[in-house]
Amino acid sequence: MFAIRITAQRALLLGLCLNLAACQGLEGIQVQGVDLGKLASVGQNLTNMGQKSADEEQVIGQNTASVLLQQASVLNNQELQRYVNRVGLWVAQHSERPDLRWRFVVLDSPQVAAYAAPAGYIFITRGMLLRMNSEAELAGVLAHEAAHVVQRHHLKAIQQQAQTGLLSDLATLAVQASAAKSGDSSKTAIADKFTRSVSDLYARGLDRGDEYEADAMGAVIATRAGYDPYGLAGVLQTLASTRQDDATLVSFLKTHPNIGDRLQRLEPVYQHIERHAHGSPQMLDMRYLQALRAQ
Amino acid sequence: MTKLLHTCLVALLLTLYSGLALSELRQAQTVQDSELRADPSHNASSLGRIGKQASVMVQARQGGWYQVRTSTGQEGWLPLLSLRFVKQTQGSGSSNLGNLLSLGSKAAPASGVATGVRGISDEQLKSAAGSLPANLYDLEHFAAQPAEARAFAQQGGLQSQPLPYSRQ
């Protein structure tokens, strides 16, 4: 329901922009003191800018995902991949960006990790899946990652890391990086800049503030999708109980804020959810278990 | 028809299954003073007050509540966020695994000793036929369509609801 409402609002906005853009030749015409010509060209620019930056984000996202995939491998289990994509898409449709090309990937790694790339690419390792109890927990983690995409956390951070002022400059870098990968050696140095920026960011992790924000948004997004709101907190509880020197957890702990702090900051969020959410939230632990057992 | 009936039955079972028993009893500690409740609700009658840093055994979870047994043998429910699990004494991973995202080196292959919380081993989950060569084309192959996601949600009894973010 929520997703539909958002889409309707967007359609309205887009329609307004298109209508204004369609009103050519309005220069100088004023209605109640408003210059329609100017308003029309603003509408045109808004439409173009929105589309342009969405395209740029898509190019940057694709190339970011590409860099990350070079350092990982994909789990060869079609059933499980499809399952995670269904859960993920359903969750993402309850975010503010339901119409992105959301893609979810289970990586074949024992490490505990989940991360997002711009434009809707979300990765989760089999090591992370193993430590979860239910579909609601999976939904909580995927919703946290979707929130990073909604807020463009990685996009902004890569932009900062690569020191490109404009989004279009970063998109150009990303395109050059992919051209260099396919053999054009003259662009290697430029390509390195993009690849290095991406790799540095994912090794270091996002700012703490971005993580807290994604937690707060993720718990709400998963609840909107009909899941037990406590999925995210449940996963964090489990990870907090794992030995902190566990080798599969080292990278997660390095790239994220202290789990106790995260749980504490989630407390007012859950109070808010308890006050405003209704219906019968689902955990779907049996369905989750079945999906993990499928080969 | 039989298939439809089967799907409905599975959906019903999944819907009815609301409590979650943990795969094993786990020791936890309270991080704040809390009322021990007779049922998983703030409105349920209080069975007494549990102080900070009290040790309890967690038996099950329901929504934002854990069913616990206290050191004096009392049973009841505590808010999920009032507890932290005691760290396991044995790690579940092997040592010296490469950092997943460390540059220039791929993650070391799993040694297969990790066991998940639900008793599924890493060995069971890892690719029997090896990993897939990773490129963006593969990802398109697994992608879900909106209609598919909707049907899948319906099967699980998932119902959308509008909910604003909390302002902090």
This model of the complex carries an ipTM of 0.80
pLDDT at B149: 97
pLDDT at B117: 55
Domain that holds residue A24: 2-48
Average pLDDT over residues B17-45: 81
pLDDT at A165: 78
Q: Give a yes or no: residue A171 inside a domain.
A: yes
User: Are residues A264 and A141 both part of a single domain?
Assistant: yes
Residue B43 has pLDDT above 80, yes or no: yes
Q: Which helix (H) or strand (E) holds B104?
A: none
User: Are residues A171 and A30 both part of a single domain?
Assistant: no
| Residue A199 burial (CB count, 10 A) | 21
pLDDT at A60: 94
Q: Give a yes or no: residue A262 inside a domain.
A: yes
Distance CA A212, CA A256 (A): 10
Residue B100 has pLDDT above 80, yes or no: no
User: Are residues A75 and A149 both part of a single domain?
Assistant: yes
pLDDT at B168: 64
* Contact call for B13 and A86, based on CB within 8 A: no
User: Are residues A83 and A34 both part of a single domain?
Assistant: no
Residue from the list B107, B116, B163 with its beta carbon closest to the beta carbon of A131: B116
Contacts of A103 in chain B (CB under 8 A): 139-140, 142-143
Residue from the list B87, B131, B144 with its beta carbon closest to the beta carbon of A85: B144
pLDDT at A58: 94
Query: How would you label B56-74 residue by residue, b for 16+ Cβ within 10 Å and e otherwise?
Result: bebeebbbbbbbbebeeee
* Contact call for A246 and B80, based on CB within 8 A: no
| Of the candidates A234, A236, A266, A95, the residue with the CA atom closest to the CA atom of residue B168 | A266
Q: Are A218 and A146 in contact (CB under 8 A)?
A: yes
CB proximity under 8 Å: B 63-122 to A: 63-64, 80-81, 83-97, 99-103, 106-107, 110-111, 114-118, 120, 122
Percent over 70 (pLDDT), chain B:
59
Task: State which residue of chain A sits closest to B10, comparing Cα positions.
Answer: A287
Domains of chain B (ranges; CATH) run 17-85 (2.30.30.40)
∠ CA A252-A174-A69, nearest 5°, is 40
User: Are residues A163 and A269 both part of a single domain?
Assistant: yes
User: Are residues A89 and A15 both part of a single domain?
Assistant: no
User: Are residues A274 and A226 both part of a single domain?
Assistant: yes
Q: How far apart are the CA of A16 and the nearest CA of chain B, in angstroms?
A: 25
Residue A182 carries which DSSP code?
T
User: Are residues A80 and A221 both part of a single domain?
Assistant: yes
pLDDT at B93: 37
Convert the pLDDT of each residue in B58-97 to its tens digit.
Answer: 988 888 899 999 999 999 999 999 998 887 764 443 322 2
Contacts of B166 in chain A (CB under 8 A): 216, 220, 268-269, 271-273
| Of the candidates B26, B87, B160, the residue with the CA atom closest to the CA atom of residue A139 | B160
pLDDT at B134: 64
Residues of chain A short of pLDDT 70, as ranges, are: 1-48, 181-191, 295
Mean model confidence pLDDT for chain B: 73
Kindly tell me the burial class for residue A265, based on how many C-beta atoms sit within 10 Å of its own C-beta (0-12, 13-18, 19 or more): middle
* Contact call for A75 and B87, based on CB within 8 A: no
Per the structure, how many domains does chain A have? 2
Q: Of B124, B139, B148, which to mutate for an interface test with A (greatest number of A Cβ within 10 Å)?
A: B139
pLDDT at A244: 72
Coil, helix or strand for B36?
Answer: strand
Q: How far apart are the CA of A121 and the nearest CA of chain B, in angstroms?
A: 9
Convert the pLDDT of each residue in B120-159 to its tens digit.
Answer: 777 777 765 567 666 666 778 899 999 999 999 999 999 9
Convert the pLDDT of each residue in A81-104 to its tens digit.
Answer: 999 999 999 999 999 999 999 999
Q: Of A64, A71, A105, A223, which to mutate for an interface test with B (greatest number of B Cβ within 10 Å)?
A: A71
User: Are residues A44 and A182 both part of a single domain?
Assistant: no
Radius of gyration of chain B from its Cα atoms, rounded to whole angstroms:
22
